[in-house]
Amino acid sequence: MDLGLQGKVAVITGGTQGIGKATAERLAAEGAKVVIVARGQAGLDTVAAQIRAAGGAVHGVSADVSSPDGAAHIIAEAVKAFGGVDILINNAGTSATGAFESVTDGAWQSDFDLKLFGAVRLIRLALPHMKARGAGRIVNVTNIGAKQPGARTMPTTVTRAAGQAMTKALSKEFAADGILVNSVCIGLVRAGQHETRAAREGVDLETHYQNIGKTVPIGRVGRADEAANVIAFLVSEAASFVTGSSINIDGGASAVF
- The string over 182-209, giving b where at least 16 C-beta atoms fall within 10 Å of a residue's C-beta and e elsewhere, is bbbbbbbbbbeebeeebeeeeeeeeebb
Element (H, E) at 21: helix 18-29
With respect to residue 3, please indicate whether it lies within any of the assigned structural domains: no
Residues 40 and 151 in one domain: yes
Amino acid letter, residue 139: V
- Average pLDDT for the chain: 96
Instruction: Reply yes or no on whether the pLDDT at 93 is more than 90.
Output: no
Instruction: Reply yes or no on whether the pLDDT at 1 is more than 80.
Output: no
With respect to residue 148, please indicate whether it lies within any of the assigned structural domains: yes
Residues 95 and 214 in one domain: no
Q: Please state the pTM of the whole predicted model.
A: 0.96
Residues 147 and 196 in one domain: no
Instruction: Reply yes or no on whether the pLDDT at 194 is more than 90.
Output: no
Domain extent at residue 91: 9-187+223-248
With respect to residue 256, please indicate whether it lies within any of the assigned structural domains: no
Residues 136 and 199 in one domain: no
Residues 13 and 128 in one domain: yes
Residues 70 and 142 in one domain: yes
> How many structural domains comprise the chain?
2
pLDDT value at residue 215: 94
Question: Which residue in 224, 219, 217 sits closest to 195, CA to CA?
Answer: 224
With respect to residue 257, please indicate whether it lies within any of the assigned structural domains: no
Residues 95 and 120 in one domain: yes
CATH code (residue 139): 3.40.50.720
The residue with greater pLDDT, 252 or 94, is 252
With respect to residue 177, please indicate whether it lies within any of the assigned structural domains: yes
pLDDT value at residue 17: 93
pLDDT value at residue 23: 98
Question: Which residue in 191, 185, 181 sits closest to 89, CA to CA?
Answer: 181
Please tell me the distance from the alpha carbon of residue 140 to that of residue 89, in angstroms, as a whole number.
6
Residues 177 and 113 in one domain: yes
Average pLDDT over residues 14-39: 97
pLDDT value at residue 200: 85
- What is the C-alpha radius of gyration for the chain, rounded to an integer number of angstroms? 17
Residues 182 and 193 in one domain: no
Instruction: Reply yes or no on whether the pLDDT at 199 is more than 90.
Output: no
Strands 9-13 and 57-62: unpaired
Instruction: Reply yes or no on whether the pLDDT at 28 is more than 80.
Output: yes
* CB atoms inside a 10 Å sphere around CB 106: 8
pLDDT value at residue 144: 97
Positive or negative torsion for Cα 52, 54, 56, 58: negative
pLDDT value at residue 35: 98
Contact 235, 87 (CB under 8 A): yes
